[in-house]
Chain A
């Protein structure tokens, strides 16, 4: 609890009244939140203690659904996959975003900046499911990716990317990179614009090269924006569903299976609502366990 000053009793009275007025304004949103967010979460937790097919009489089973989550062999693998996806959904987009944002800052041309922003953001406005389908075509044996490789004389590298046990997961990850880079670039460009230009001038007068400027000015200046990017994209990686579902459905074999797709399959193809809810609850807890320390890490000192 840092930064909270000592308040007088009178201050507290005024503030608490103001706080109640605030709640009133927030009420419509809170009602929506309670009905469409809190209630489903609470029922999911409740369902996870039952054996229920979604329609007929349910049977309380205690913690059995949770025990299964941790004993089913494919599940651990699918959680590992979602962590591997962090490389593609988070690290690569943030890295690319930083590079693009720094370059655009250097160019200082309104036109180039606008063009870059638009181009980079385009993937973000295409639904993940649609882009997954487009990428499926590009990854197909005769698709754009293999055509490009053949044109470069790299015939040996061509393969059916999404049908390859080794390459399917990275291939799916690249779709995520393509989707997330725009968002990260946009956020980082906005952040870089707020950094005082005179800092860069002063640094270059002191003889700092581009790399030094990047390390000493850009990176610390973008701390919060990077935090936001990392948070959003890690959640997207761990809870990924649309891209994987539309491109591979978890295959070939189990090589791209992720918890998000399993939650769906358990609930809607197998009608195992309780088991699905238990997995969803575990997935949420994993996301929280990863995100909370990251929030701490990126908090401004």
Chain B
């Protein structure tokens, strides 16, 4: 016993020596971590001579995306390679929650895939890791697409939103308000509300009938949804987009945003949200809405297939109404997958042909079949939607928002850490009543500036 006790105990000297060694190793620093400064911009990031032909030689492309997009990507690949038999595409899918972490590593790899899910255009352009697609856009005529469908994938001088094109979407997401048709009838809602006040009126009536006015789940930050739906319209899509794209001097701490936060906080304290809003996750929210006790559900297209299954024919969808009737309609709507071409790819022409294919009629139908909004021109053939599916309402709302130039990226994607480190905890404090709307937005803006080192 005695002996063992002595042997296992680190002596003070050994600890000091070990710590000393670590400090020396760290401070003296063998070589700095990361690549040397010189080998960053080796590959051709801005091709000028491009071809719209995939060529006659066999081409093997590799594609990288998140697991959640597997169904739509597989269908797109099958359709594309059928059209171009010389091209093969081998997809790799990562679990969705790690694509954010792995995507920069995929881009930076010495032999990157030819088609990569682009999460941050600015991160990709900062080190010339992404191919500038301007030459392809001209060659293929992508410039004719609605501007709001491409703006998110443009960047100039490290700021997204405008400039050169770096990615193209396989389809879009769409957000707004699902509603329970039966309960809507019960509270006297015959048509989607045209103003926020009208919306709040229906929620009050739902509350009086013992129902949940709006099914909000804020354990993982779902409470930011109703807030942003209000802000999109109040601040204007352009200003919110600028903030998400880290435009110089952009701020979310505006009087309009404070007012929106005040509204959402008020709705919660008036009991229009579920009682334990901060403990509910997305699954619990789904269950609550499916139980038929919630009137509105601020969520997105990704839930449409699920709602068709759990509540067939009982659900409708409309875009968030503006503060005053006829005002700006807007919604968070970003790419299903924005595909970009790493600058180190050796098969850029074939990869670009795939990007072009993403807005073809065939690809649009695939997007809709998988619950996404189709990219492309409104003059193209409208994809067919299964009758009775709520996706019909969602697609209609997307058309309305897209036409109004109201596509806005999610505020939670403004920086890599802003969702975890600011929006989720700060919105929980706001809902709890532990912080004021002013504190809420000041904190978020502070974290934003911190992360961007402003």
Q: In the complex, how many residues of chain B place their beta carbon closer than 8 angstroms to a beta carbon of chain A? A: 50
Tell whether, in the assembled complex, residue B26 and residue A46 are in contact, meaning their CB atoms are under 8 Å apart. yes
Residues of chain B within 8 A (CB-CB) of A295 are: 9
Tell whether, in the assembled complex, residue B15 and residue A300 are in contact, meaning their CB atoms are under 8 Å apart. no
Task: Give per-residue flags for A54-85: 1 if the beta carbon is below 8 A from chain B beta carbons, else 0.
Answer: 11111010000000000000000000000000
How far, in whole Å, are A55 and B124 apart by their CA atoms in the complex? 12
Residue of A nearest to B5 (CB): A300
Tell whether, in the assembled complex, residue B279 and residue A164 are in contact, meaning their CB atoms are under 8 Å apart. yes
Tell whether, in the assembled complex, residue B416 and residue A269 are in contact, meaning their CB atoms are under 8 Å apart. yes
Write the nearest CB–CB distance from B84 to chain A, whole angstroms.
33
Known: A52-B34, A58-B32, A269-B417. A224 touches B432 (CB 8 A): no
User: Does A110 sit within 8 A of B, measured CB to CB?
Assistant: no
Residues of chain A within 8 A (CB-CB) of B420 are: 249, 265, 269
Contact partner of B278 (CB less than 8 A), chosen from A3, A53, A252, is A252
Interface centre among A140, A251, A271 (most CB of B within 10 A): A251
**Per DSSP, are chain A's interface residues mostly helix, strand or loop, or mixed?**
loop
How far, in whole Å, are A266 and B420 apart by their CA atoms in the complex? 10
Residue of A nearest to B8 (CB): A295
Tell whether, in the assembled complex, residue A60 and residue B278 are in contact, meaning their CB atoms are under 8 Å apart. no
User: Does B27 sit within 8 A of A, measured CB to CB?
Assistant: yes
Residues of chain A within 8 A (CB-CB) of B190 are: none
Residues of chain B within 8 A (CB-CB) of A45 are: 22-23, 25-26
How far, in whole Å, are A90 and B415 apart by their CA atoms in the complex? 38
Tell whether, in the assembled complex, residue B434 and residue A253 are in contact, meaning their CB atoms are under 8 Å apart. yes
Tell whether, in the assembled complex, residue A57 and residue B417 are in contact, meaning their CB atoms are under 8 Å apart. no
Write the nearest CB–CB distance from B302 to chain A, whole angstroms.
21
Residue of A nearest to B12 (CB): A292
Number of A-B contacts (CB under 8 A): 136
Stretch at the interface among B132-140, B364-372, B393-401, B423-431: B423-431
Write the nearest CB–CB distance from B428 to chain A, whole angstroms.
4
Write the nearest CB–CB distance from B301 to chain A, whole angstroms.
25
User: Does B191 sit within 8 A of A, measured CB to CB?
Assistant: no
Residue of B nearest to A228 (CB): B8
Tell whether, in the assembled complex, residue B425 and residue A251 are in contact, meaning their CB atoms are under 8 Å apart. yes
Tell whether, in the assembled complex, residue A60 and residue B32 are in contact, meaning their CB atoms are under 8 Å apart. yes
Tell whether, in the assembled complex, residue A140 and residue B26 are in contact, meaning their CB atoms are under 8 Å apart. no
Residue of B nearest to A45 (CB): B26
User: Does A141 sit within 8 A of B, measured CB to CB?
Assistant: yes
User: Does A33 sit within 8 A of B, measured CB to CB?
Assistant: no
How far, in whole Å, are A163 and B11 apart by their CA atoms in the complex? 45
Residue of B nearest to A270 (CB): B417
Tell whether, in the assembled complex, residue A271 and residue B416 are in contact, meaning their CB atoms are under 8 Å apart. yes
Interface centre among B34, B104, B415 (most CB of A within 10 A): B34
Tell whether, in the assembled complex, residue B105 and residue A41 are in contact, meaning their CB atoms are under 8 Å apart. no
Residues of chain A within 8 A (CB-CB) of B6 are: 3
Known: A42-B25, A249-B420. A165 touches B37 (CB 8 A): no
Q: What is A's interface to B at a CB cutoff of 8 Å?
A: 1, 3, 41-43, 45-50, 52-58, 60, 139-141, 159-165, 224, 249-254, 257, 265-266, 268-273, 288, 292, 295, 299-300
Provide a sorted-by-A list of 25 A–B residue pairs whose CB atoms are within 8 angstroms: A1-B11, A3-B6, A45-B23, A46-B26, A46-B29, A46-B33, A52-B34, A53-B34, A57-B35, A58-B32, A60-B32, A140-B279, A160-B276, A160-B279, A163-B276, A252-B219, A253-B426, A265-B417, A265-B421, A266-B417, A269-B101, A269-B416, A270-B451, A271-B416, A300-B2
Nearest 10 Cβ contacts at the A-B interface? A163-B279, A160-B279, A160-B276, A45-B26, A270-B417, A163-B278, A252-B428, A58-B34, A252-B278, A253-B429
12 additional A-B residue pairs with CB within 8 Å, beyond A57-B37, A140-B284, A271-B104: A1-B11, A50-B32, A55-B104, A141-B275, A141-B276, A159-B276, A161-B279, A249-B220, A251-B278, A269-B421, A299-B9, A300-B5
